Amino acid sequence: YTVDKMVPAVVLDVTKKKNVVIQLPGGRRVALDRRALGFAARAVDNEKMGEDRIRRGAVIRVKNNGGRWAVVQEPLLQGALVSLDAKTGAVRALVGGYDFHSKTFNRAVQAMRQPGSTFKPFVYSAALSKGMTASTVVNDAPISLPGKGPNGSVWTPKNSDGRYSGYITLRQALTASKNMVSIRILMSIGVGYAQQYIRRFGFRPSELPASLSMALGTGETTPLKVAEAYSVFANGGYRVSSHVIDKIYDRDGRLRAQMQPLVAGQNAPQAIDPRNAYIMYKIMQDVVRVGTARGAAALGRTDIAGKTGTTNDNKDAWFVGFNPDVVTAVYIGFDKPKSMGRAGYGGTIAVPVWVDYMRFALKG
């Protein structure tokens, strides 16, 4: 099998000149010189490289570049994509990582990650249910909270860009992903109320930390769970369940079972007020139009809404975008969480992946 035109090859021999002879799928043999080895040249029979050294019997990845085979490296950065039918929860696409055969860990359903700012819409929805509106004004100013930090220390959260806008509306705050406003909203409605309310979207209590940091998405959940939760905003407030099987036939072609999914507007339970879902949808359209997810506007559609997310030190990057028919969540990050660098924001690395997929998916 190939991934991104990368082909697995077996090392047959390492010559005295440190050239490498490989066998490609199908049996063809190719000799790789130092130029073809590139970055991997230092790993040829190098005992210091341990199990990572290129030696006889090792399996490496190569790619044909204009008739020349060269060693390539699988990316360390991983990701996941989940795309659902917003009305039924049917899985349209599910990608659990770069290459399932090299690592069978399915990040779409197994990776517990902080959703970051993609969690904020659930807090805002809870605020609307408490009587706030999209025009409610909240102070976007620095805040220090004694006893709310680690080990009872002072918690001094910040906006990701270090800028503060003073009194702004909820619509403006979510569009610009203002951390201070999300925290003040949660302080106003109460952590306990928010926990109970947000469970309507399908989150377990363990995914909802009993602290103000919940406003910033510090709980842990999976990309599949996040996509399911956003379907509530997309379909008018109904809770649907994801599923991958529609029908089951036996070997003779006889139908043995057929999925009876919960369908929005029919038999699915109403999770939140449809007016609430509509307002959240309209606010998140602004996120795409003029906010942190402006890159999603590349699709040239006016019905797209969504929210970006980035966690502390740029360890996790997200974008969840949707229209009334399709919800797609994209997650990017390392398996062992570490910073992706200054450019590792949801709007810069997750949104482009989402756009590439949705450009295809929305063709029908």
End-to-end CA distance of the chain: 28
Instruction: Note the pLDDT of residue 98.
Output: 81
Among the listed residues 260, 318, 327, 257, the one whose alpha carbon sits nearest the alpha carbon of residue 292: 318
Please give the domain boundaries of the chain with CATH numbers for all domains: 7-72 (2.40.50.140), 78-361 (3.40.710.10)
C-alpha to C-alpha distance for 334 and 37, rounded to whole angstroms: 26
Cβ atoms of 129 and 272 within 8 Å: the answer is yes
C-alpha to C-alpha distance for 221 and 240, rounded to whole angstroms: 17
Instruction: Note the pLDDT of residue 54.
Output: 78
Instruction: Note the pLDDT of residue 364.
Output: 60
Q: What tens digit of pLDDT does each residue of 177-230 get?
A: 999 999 999 999 999 999 999 999 999 999 999 999 999 999 999 999 999 999
Instruction: Note the pLDDT of residue 36.
Output: 79
Query: 14: which strand partners?
Result: 20
Instruction: Note the pLDDT of residue 43.
Output: 65
**300 CB-near residues (< 8 Å, 6+ apart):** none
Instruction: Note the pLDDT of residue 296.
Output: 97
Instruction: Note the pLDDT of residue 14.
Output: 85
Instruction: Note the pLDDT of residue 51.
Output: 54
Q: How many residues does the chain have?
A: 364
C-alpha to C-alpha distance for 79 and 73, rounded to whole angstroms: 16
Instruction: Note the pLDDT of residue 101.
Output: 67
Q: What tens digit of pLDDT does each residue of 317-345 get?
A: 999 999 999 999 999 999 998 999 988 99
Among the listed residues 303, 109, 142, the one whose alpha carbon sits nearest the alpha carbon of residue 225: 109
Instruction: Note the pLDDT of residue 15.
Output: 80
C-alpha to C-alpha distance for 322 and 233, rounded to whole angstroms: 9
User: In the chain, which stretches have pLDDT less than 50?
Assistant: none
